Structure 1
Amino acid sequence: MSSFFVKVILPVIVVVVAIAGAVGLSKMRQPPEKNDESRPAILVNAVAIKPDNIVYQIKSQGMVTPKLETSLVSEVNGRVVEVAEQFVAGGFFTKGDVLVRVEQSDYLTNVKAAQAALANAQAMLAEEKARVRVAEEEWRSFTDGTAPALGLRQPQLASALASVQSAEAELERAKRDLARTEIRAPYDGMVRSRAANIGQFISRGSVLGSIVGTEVAEIRLPLTDIDMAFLAMPGAMDTEANTVTLSSTVAGQQLTWPAKLVRTEGILDERSRVIYVVAEVTDPYQRQKQAQNQPVLNFGRFVGATITGTQAEQIVRVERHLLLPGNQVLVVDKDNTLQFRQVEVDRATNEFAYIQAGLEPTDQLALSAISNPLAGTVVRVAGAGSDEPQSTDGTQLAEAAAAKADKVKEQ
């Protein structure tokens, strides 16, 4: 009996009790509490749109070169007997200075010979004039008719006059050659290179050196067709619209020089597809001291240039990375939702985009980096009635949120 109870009845009782317990527990179970899931609005940085009048600044760069550059070439033959002290590379000179002098002995002799030949020709002319007067008196003593030209020695007189003119020309040539033995500076400038030395024999056509003018420096600035559209060229603008500011780092110091746009070369470069404009700087080496505390601008220096262009009205300037493909920008509208605005771009550079139309007065420009933004997404603007830090960097926003969460845990 006991064996039957243990093997049969007891297992059945255990199963029944387990089933009854499970049913009872299932009836006592409370349903899970339902909470409406709410996602917090995205925190973004935004700035109000403020149209303003803008004067475009056009960037370029170029090399400083002299406006005048001359190769000194000998026009006579001879031995160099004198070279000016300032006729060395980098030496400064003024207009009219004698840079090189050639031996003058032979040319002085030529001048004296030409003077003697002229005096002889003049004496022959005077003698021939006297003969003409005698011939006229003799003709009148015999007849009252018109004397023939040959009888009055007119051909001989013309020949004597031609001899005088030829002698005068030879004297002028001799004096000119004598003057050419002194190679003088044609303008104020600086010596770039020298090729003549004392004792050297030079011939007509020999290069004595190279000089450059220091009165005006030129800078050729390449511009694209787009840049030219915002540039008012000389002759069709006011006096301030063509100003140029040159800049360069010299000995670790940033220096600037004022310049003026004077012309365009008018030819589009076939390879680079740019057109060159020319700016000028007066007295780059400050020899005339026209500007106080103005640094020297050396020839050959590479400089950056900022050209003052045309003025545009009611333009919104935004950073270039905020301009999306298709000329769209992401804004926060008056309902604090993200919207894409199709805008009209007046000008775009590597740094900024200048928007002319397409934005609403109530729009705020979204500055934060948002992955996969969707139009109509509700956002929170940092700094608008909240204590969230303003930032244009999504990383900084994430770090601020993490710091706030750690503070809550500590409390």
Structure 2
Amino acid sequence: MSSSIRKAGLPIIILVVAAVGFVVLGSMRQAPEKKPVEQPVLLVEAEAFTATDVVFTVATQGNVVPKNQTVLTPQVSGRIVAISPVFVEGGFFEQGDVLLELESADFETDVKLAEAELARSQAALEEEIARGRVAEQEWRSVNNTVPPELGLRKPQLSREQANVKAAQAQLERAKRNLARTKITAPYAGMVVARNADIGQFVSAQTNLGEIYSTDVAEVRLPLTDSDLAFVNLDGGRTLPVELSAVVAGKPSAWQGEVVRSEGVLDQRSRVVYAVVEVNDPYLRNGQRNGLPLRFGQFVNAAISGKQADNIIVLPRHTLRLDGSVLAVTPEREIAIRNVEVVRADEEFVYISSGLQPTDKVAVSAVPNPYDGMPVRLSSDPVEPEPTKSEQDVEDSDDEIAKQGDA
């Protein structure tokens, strides 16, 4: 009986002893050291800024067209007997060059006939003048009174004078028609289209071809209402313009001037067109630097507009949707500044006021910013981490302090 009791109570004794040991060991364990949780400070990229005077530029685009373009038509009829070698598509010519010649034999005959008619009229006039003098002498030999105009043959004299003027006019017309058998260039330019060939009979107003002037090129640039706030088209002075395009795989640039605006708001696109002129686009006047600005080419344009003083220019992404900018104060805290924006384009934002001189502008992303948010800058000095030996010394000091407390 007693042995069975001992066998049954042994496990209970073992459990009690284990529980007591566990309690004793747990009471001897030291509580873990409590350390304050350190919140990491956000690293921010920030840049200083300066206010400068800015000349605003307006970006637009357009096609290059000639200032003058002409459809060649003859003023007289005839057969084409000669064509200039430069009268081909793409050919260049100078002012006054003969591009085509028409058969002129009939017109030369007309000139001779007009010359003969003029000579006959002049002879008749001289004869009538002599008759008038004879009539006056005969009248005065018979009567002492003033002779009448009919007696002096003045009406006949006026008729012969009119005949002379008519003959002179016919001769001038015949000479003009003879000169018109040569189709000359009204300006220096290039041939765009040729619609006639040698031996072809043409009448007046026949389309012989089309030519462009090459002394000045024009570009029509559309400007929106917001663009007009930075470009003064009615100031009475020209505005410099830089035209650019990619030609033969390389970027090229040309200089021009806004000389006028068309002055009418387009009803469909709601824009005003400014006209830019570029002198000598095909480099025909001796200047060979750069590439020619060809007609029909599409170019980008940057118009130099109005000037503004004390403007801060920042990257476009620094402006938030609510019109504010994140600034970093000297205390390394975020400050949300409401700024006055003069203009904003795809690359930059132009600010006139709202930032403090001691501020720096945050150019990197700041999630969930608020006023007074602590930050650190990449330019701030970094505190050195403790070396291994220093860390061992600190651990030893902590262990000695713990033992003293125990």
Task: Please say whether Structure 1 and Structure 2 have the same fold, judged by a TM-score greater than 0.5.
Answer: yes
Deviation larger for 345-354 or 135-144:
135-144
Deviation larger for 259-268 or 12-21:
12-21
Q: CA deviation at 1:209?
A: 0.9
Q: CA, structure 1 residues 20+387, in 2 after alignment: closer, same or farther (shift >3 Å)?
A: closer
Q: CA, structure 1 residues 276+321, in 2 after alignment: closer, same or farther (shift >3 Å)?
A: same
Q: Does 1:137 align with 2:122?
A: no
Name the SS for the 2:54 alignment partner: strand
Q: CA deviation at 1:38?
A: 1.6
Deviation larger for 257-266 or 373-382:
257-266
Q: Does 1:302 align with 2:298?
A: yes
Name the SS for the 1:266 alignment partner: coil
Tell me the distance in 1 between the aligned counterparts of 2:337 and 2:270: 33
Give the conservation status (yes or no) of the 8 Å contact 1:234–1:261: no
1:360 to 342, 356, 360: 356
Counterpart AA for 2:277: E
Cα deviation digits, residues 354-408 of structure 1 (max 9, x gap): 11111001111101112222222100011222399xxxxxxxxxxxxxxxxxxxx
Q: Does 1:380 align with 2:379?
A: no
Name the SS for the 1:130 alignment partner: helix
**Post-superposition, which runs of at least 4 consecutive aligned residues in structure 1 deviate over 4 A?**
6-32, 232-237
1:270 to 267, 270, 295: 267
1:339 to 321, 335, 339: 335
Name the SS for the 2:114 alignment partner: helix
Q: CA deviation at 1:14?
A: 6.8
Q: CA deviation at 1:329?
A: 0.8
Tell me the distance in 1 between the aligned counterparts of 2:145 and 2:53: 95
Tell me the distance in 1 between the aligned counterparts of 2:181 and 2:130: 41
**What aligned pairs does 1:254-333 form with structure 2 within 5 A after superposition?**
254-289=251-286, 291=287, 293-333=289-329
Give the conservation status (yes or no) of the 8 Å contact 1:234–1:262: no
Counterpart AA for 2:376: R
Tell me the distance in 2 between the aligned counterparts of 1:366 and 1:333: 10
Counterpart AA for 1:47: E
Percent of aligned pairs sharing the same letter: 49
- Find the counterpart in structure 1 of residue 365 from structure 2: 369
Aligned length: 384
Give the conservation status (yes or no) of the 8 Å contact 1:330–1:340: yes
Name the SS for the 2:219 alignment partner: strand
Q: CA deviation at 1:156?
A: 2.2
Give the conservation status (yes or no) of the 8 Å contact 2:252–2:290: no
Tell me the distance in 2 between the aligned counterparts of 1:357 and 1:204: 69
Counterpart AA for 1:85: P
Give the conservation status (yes or no) of the 8 Å contact 2:61–2:300: yes
Give the conservation status (yes or no) of the 8 Å contact 1:60–1:305: yes
Counterpart AA for 2:97: D
Tell me the distance in 2 between the aligned counterparts of 1:373 and 1:304: 39
- Find the counterpart in structure 2 of residue 251 from structure 1: 248
What runs of 5+ residues in structure 2 fail to find an aligned partner? 385-406
**What aligned pairs does 1:17-166 form with structure 2 within 5 A after superposition?**
27=27, 30-166=30-166
Deviation larger for 303-312 or 28-37:
28-37
- Find the counterpart in structure 2 of residue 394 from structure 1: none
Name the SS for the 1:321 alignment partner: helix
Q: CA deviation at 1:243?
A: 2.1
- Find the counterpart in structure 2 of residue 188 from structure 1: 188
Tell me the distance in 1 between the aligned counterparts of 2:34 and 2:67: 85
Name the SS for the 2:111 alignment partner: helix
Deviation larger for 81-90 or 50-59:
50-59
